[in-house]
Amino acid sequence: MSFNPLAEKGIPLDQQLRNWSELNVQPYIKDQVDPYTRTRVITMNGIETEGIFFSHQFARHTADPDLRRQLAMLRRVEQQQQKVVNWLTPGNESTLEVTIGYEQVAVDLTAFLARHEPDPYIKQAFEFGLLEDFDHLYRYANLLEMTEGKKAEEVTGRLTEIMPGRPTVAEHRHPYDDVRRPSDRTKADPVSLLHVLTLVASEQQTMNFYMNVGNRPMNPLARGLYLEIAQIEEQHVTHYESLLDPNASWLEQEVLHQYNECYLYYSFMQQESDRRIKQIWELHLNMEIEHLRIACDLLRQYENRDPEEFLPPSLPETMRFEENKDYIRQVLADQVNLTTQDTEFVPVEQLPEDARYFQYQKTVNAGGVPSEQVIEEHRSQMGGDYRMTTEGAHPLAGANR
């Protein structure tokens, strides 16, 4: 059954504020939680955080006092939503365990969106990033077993395979080569706009997370791995955000943010197995429906535009966390050797010898690479690397043990 948030009635904004005890929710139990409940929590934390940061930037770029007040009110409620979502993560889940969850999000969210993306260029951009986050999961999984004695599959639930992707050492590119061609929102399928905005928010949250927690480990190798992969997350945010149409107005973008939150809360409400957390998704959906209505009214008031011009008549197919093993294996077999040159994706062996990629690699990888060292150290200590495969050998013969 189709669902059109524009036609629904949400919770009035003046009834959405909650008290401290309502916000300080009981976290999930880390050893009992469905791995995909964890990934939904991480995803919605990133979605709410992006909405908040965008709203702050919007407020800094308008002088209209009424509009700034309306943004402040919406943003305050979004902040409360973010606290509820983020506070579902328990304090006894280590930073590295949470990191494994973040990378599982990056793998299975990106894979699902790539599988359902109608635009060939955007789909290629998603598949390119997918193989890099897939490798990050493998690197962090080896660090987890080596430093905490825990297998990453205890976090991922064997729903996501763990093995080498595009090697992190090969992912470091010159910044010029991370900027993609922007989409044209007047011609793009609305689902593409939602997909890109979702991945921008997700990768940005991962980048922010590593920027803040990467200095918490005492182990120098762990600190090195976090700082190296954090730099790739910077590349990924640049990669995905450059796909957005820069000509969209601030209010048009605000409407799209609110619509995307409706889309994701509705999607996750349909899939959620934890009854208590499902109720949170449902509550937040009903809040977001009202946020969307207000944003649409602001668009009509300030720009004399109808949001139905660019929003779909109903929500797209629900976004789901599900296994993507066969799809990832195929992308890995076909595209592991790709890099980028300007806005295009090219096999690394086709780059000229003087390509800026090689000079950048030479600069940043001089003196040792943490993502390589963590695997070498794991092999030294434990006689091999850590992997978790359910579908057979690695699709690339050279990547098998």
Residues 6+ apart with CB under 8 A from 182: 242, 243, 244, 245, 246
Give the separation between CA 125 and CA 8, rounded to whole angstroms: 34
Largest interatomic CA distance in the chain: 66
Q: Of 169, 178, 165, 171, whose CA–CA distance to 131 is shortest?
A: 165
Please give the pLDDT value at position 244. 99
Task: Quick: pLDDT tens for 115-144.
Answer: 999 999 999 999 999 999 999 999 999 999
Residues 6+ apart with CB under 8 A from 237: 200, 203, 204, 207
232 contacts 168 by C-beta, under 8 angstroms: yes
Total residues found in the chain within this entry? 401
Question: HSE (CB half, 13 Å, CA atoms) of 306?
Answer: 4
Low-confidence ranges of the chain (pLDDT < 50): none
182 contacts 384 by C-beta, under 8 angstroms: no
Please give the pLDDT value at position 1. 56
Q: Tell me the CA end-to-end span of the chain in Å, nearest whole number.
A: 48
Radius of gyration of the chain (CA): 21
Please give the pLDDT value at position 398. 82
Give the separation between CA 194 and CA 208, rounded to whole angstroms: 21
Helix (H, G, I), strand (E, B) or coil at 216: coil
Q: Of 213, 274, 203, 205, whose CA–CA distance to 239 is shortest?
A: 203
pTM over 0.85: yes
Q: Which residues pair with 344 in a beta bridge?
A: 341
CA 137 to chain CA centroid, nearest Å: 14
Helix (H, G, I), strand (E, B) or coil at 245: coil
What the block records as the tokens of 397 is 């013969």
* One-letter amino acid of 375: I
Please give the pLDDT value at position 399. 86
Give the separation between CA 33 and CA 37, rounded to whole angstroms: 7
Q: Can you spell out the DSSP letters for 293-315?
A: HHHHHHHHHHH---GGGTS-SS-
* One-letter amino acid of 301: Q
Q: Show the 3-state SS of 140-196.
A: HHHHHHHHHCCCCHHHHCCCCCECCCCCHHHCCCCHHHHCCCCCCCCCCCHHHHHHH
Please give the pLDDT value at position 52. 99
76 contacts 275 by C-beta, under 8 angstroms: no
Pairing of strands 344-347, 338-341: antiparallel
Helix (H, G, I), strand (E, B) or coil at 213: helix
108 contacts 160 by C-beta, under 8 angstroms: yes
